[in-house]
Amino acid sequence: MRREFSDAIEKIAIEDEKVVFITGDLGYNALENLQAAMGNRFINAGVAEQNMVGLAAGLAYKGFKVFCYSIAPFVVYRCWEQFRNDVCLHNLPVFLVGNGGGYGYGIMGSSHHAIEDLAGLSSLQNVKCWIPAFSDEVEPFLNQIVADARPAYLRLGAGKKTPSLDTDFGGLKLLYKASNAKGSIVSLGPVANNVMNALENEELSGQFNVFTAYNLPMKIEKEAFQLIQEAEKLLVVEEHVSTGGLAQQLSVQLLENGVSLKKFVSLRAEGYPDGTYGSQTYHQTQSGLDSQNIAIKLKCFME
């Protein structure tokens, strides 16, 4: 999604001279087009993420709309206090962009993973988290972030193109509606691609309502609740820890709207069960987020 991101930012920056882009010394071989197009509105703040967000807050206070870019753990965890106090509490248009959400940076280990980011940021005042599952969602999400002009976090990963059906229910996007659903699936971010792969299984194909969640905190329209209620069983898939993630936040929404289910299964990032590091695929498999395990869970819904 990094290429789609840089191309979209270039378009936005050309049209709006109030857009500023700050990088925390990252983005080589990906952001050179932005540097050329934006001139002195492209700033390399160096390895100083706290200062980067403080600078962004000052620029935003003076009327600019500021993107702060780094890999997800660096732009989230290192400057959480500055983002909370300087940006969110003042409702300023500063937008954090974290590349490689979840286990995206694989073998580089826990210091380079972001599996608690959404819990922390979605709890802050005035902030909205955007989590594209597919590469073609990046540009429209960015356009909305700039239009909203409020604190935001964009969590990037690696995704394919959105499947053909695309119906928006607030914070949920419906990718497939089953005629006699055996259950519903709600996934968060690019791990949705693992869900789609699991559904290629002949036994499972066409049997489930399939959603992606793209905003936290979420506000869901009643039509989505009705579909989930009618299907009676729900699988939630997210490359994020359970606490404060999609499953917990969705559970509150379901309870508040009187949705009762026969079965609720949550697949999430389990951290580091054996204390070792590997590729993103390795960590997904350890957490049961791989296509094979997703298929196993869904087959239980068919019983």
- The residue from 132, 156, 180 where one domain ends is 156
**Residue 161 domain-assigned (yes or no):** no
DSSP-derived letter for residue 288 is T
Residue 97 and residue 142 in one domain: yes
Q: Residue 69 is inside which H or E element, if any?
A: strand 65-71
Residue 113 and residue 143 in one domain: yes
**Residue 185 domain-assigned (yes or no):** yes
What per-residue confidence (pLDDT) applies to 110?
Answer: 95
**Listed residue (185, 164, 183, 294) closest to 229, CA to CA:** 183
pLDDT digits (tens, 9 = 90+) for 210-256: 999 999 998 888 999 999 999 999 999 999 999 999 999 999 999 99
Residue 19 and residue 143 in one domain: yes
**Residue 288 domain-assigned (yes or no):** yes
Cα gap 93→175, rounded to integer Å: 31
Cα gap 284→280, rounded to integer Å: 6
At residue 198 the predicted structure's pLDDT band, cuts being 50, 70 and 90, is: very high
**Residue 107 domain-assigned (yes or no):** yes
- The residue from 102, 134, 156 where one domain ends is 156
**Listed residue (54, 111, 103, 90) closest to 238, CA to CA:** 103
Q: What angle do helix axes 246-256 and 222-231 make, rounded to 10 degrees?
A: 90
CA 86, distance to chain mean position in Å, is: 23
Residue 29 has pLDDT above 90, yes or no: no
CATH of the domain at 72: 3.40.50.970
Residue 198 and residue 291 in one domain: yes
Residue 159 has pLDDT above 90, yes or no: no
Amino acid, res. 85 = N
At residue 193 the predicted structure's pLDDT band, cuts being 50, 70 and 90, is: very high
**Residue 178 domain-assigned (yes or no):** yes
pLDDT digits (tens, 9 = 90+) for 245-259: 999 999 999 999 999
Q: In the chain, what is the straight-line distance between the N-terminal and C-terminal CA atoms, in Å?
A: 38
Residue 164 has pLDDT above 70, yes or no: no
Residue 43 and residue 144 in one domain: yes
Residue 242 and residue 129 in one domain: no
Residue 181 and residue 117 in one domain: no
The mean of the pLDDT values for the chain is 94
Owning domain of residue 215: 167-301
What per-residue confidence (pLDDT) applies to 158?
Answer: 85
Residue 145 and residue 18 in one domain: yes
- The residue from 156, 181, 211 where one domain ends is 156
Residue 12 and residue 143 in one domain: yes
CATH of the domain at 179: 3.40.50.920
**Residue 162 domain-assigned (yes or no):** no
Amino acid, res. 47 = V
Residue 111 and residue 190 in one domain: no
What per-residue confidence (pLDDT) applies to 165?
Answer: 65
The 3-state DSSP class for residue 221 equals: coil
pLDDT digits (tens, 9 = 90+) for 71-83: 999 999 999 999 9
Domain count, the chain: 2
